[in-house]
Amino acid sequence: MDIDDILASVDQPDAFTPQSTALDHQLLTRFWVAERGVSELLPWPAGLMDRTMDRVRRQIEAIEDLAASSSDPYATTTTNNNNNNPTLNLKLSILQTDLSRTQYLVRSLLRHRLSKLSKHSMHYLLLVSPGPSTSSPAQDDDDETNDPHPQDSIPPLPASSSDPATTAPLSPQELAFLHAHQSLLAKHYASSFLSSFPPQLRRLDDNAGGTSMVQAPETKEVVFVRCLVDGARVVVPAADGEEDDIYATAMHVGDVAVVRWEGVRDAWGRGEVEVL
């Protein structure tokens, strides 16, 4: 990052100018396409979503005010000039169409995130839980002595779930959903069949025999990307036991390519590629 970048980032647009509205709309659209395109959950864009929801709320209020003024003849004759009235219905339909389009984007984005969360719920719970490696051996000791329940394998919620840094890729609401969902699921498994199993086979995060029962999303699946800066490189992430990532083929600006998601995930995070 050179000095121009720093100056430009300090000189950010104010959050309520029309330009920043347009920029946020573009960012939301790009994030939606990316979330729909990749197999794993992307980091929750807290600032972007807060701004978008705030704007949606204010836009709904503006539309309601406008609709109220059109249905109230007294208000229209006193406050508006005449050439405004014929286009009022048109304006309302444009504003409502625009609102519905944004709401559709947000709804589709959230629903797709929920479907990813419920598909790999254990994986994401272990991801956000503080220190899963330290807590599980202690629980394993308990398993020998007590009568274990499958619910025990659910990691506890992080203590300060309001702090966005601890809930990394999830929003606080998503974390609450995830925990409730997995608790219900574990209870259901326990009452329907797991309680008749031997105690050592009851855990939902069993990794006996070297295979983990927790399914993670497949990051090697391919995605379609467009390169936005020159020289973004496809990465082969280091496997276990290797230290460095291997940098493979470089892409040029404007190139569209089919590539593994794990190879361009970091470049996506830096905004160098976009998912199509």
Cβ-based nearer residue to another protein, 97 or 145: 97
Residue 137 CB, nearest distance to another protein (Å)?
29
164 touching another protein, by CB under 8 A: no
* Amino acid letter for position 143: D
Candidates 85, 163, 197, 270: give the one binding another protein (CB under 8 A): 270
Residue 175 CB, nearest distance to another protein (Å)?
16
59 touching another protein, by CB under 8 A: yes
188 touching another protein, by CB under 8 A: no
Q: How far apart are CA 120 and CA 213, in angstroms?
A: 11
Q: How many CB atoms lie within 10 A of CB 14?
A: 7
**How many separate helices (H) and strands (E) can be counted in the chain?**
9, 5
Instruction: Write out the two tokens for 187.
Output: 């209870």
Instruction: Write out the two tokens for 190.
Output: 């326990």
Residue 130 CB, nearest distance to another protein (Å)?
25
Cβ-based nearer residue to another protein, 178 or 186: 178
**Element of type H or E holding 226:** strand 222-227
Q: How far apart are CA 61 and CA 155, in angstroms?
A: 41
- Which residues, 86 to 145, sit near another protein by CB under 8 A? 87, 90-91, 93-95, 97-99, 101-102, 104, 108, 111-112, 114-115, 118
- Per CB under 8 A, the segment of 55-63, 121-129, 137-145, 159-167 that binds another protein is 55-63
- Per CB under 8 A, the segment of 154-162, 164-172, 194-202, 220-228 that binds another protein is 220-228
The conformation of residue 272, written as its DSSP 8-state character, comes to S
Cβ-based nearer residue to another protein, 104 or 193: 104
Instruction: Write out the two tokens for 5.
Output: 């970048």
- Are 274 and 33 in contact by the 8 Å Cβ rule? The answer is yes
256 touching another protein, by CB under 8 A: yes
21 touching another protein, by CB under 8 A: yes
Closest residue by Cα to residue 148 from 102, 200, 96: 200
Cβ-based nearer residue to another protein, 178 or 214: 178
Q: How many CB atoms lie within 10 A of CB 185?
A: 17
Candidates 25, 149, 187, 265: give the one binding another protein (CB under 8 A): 25
Candidates 121, 259, 267, 268: give the one binding another protein (CB under 8 A): 259
Q: How far apart are CA 182 and CA 118, in angstroms?
A: 8
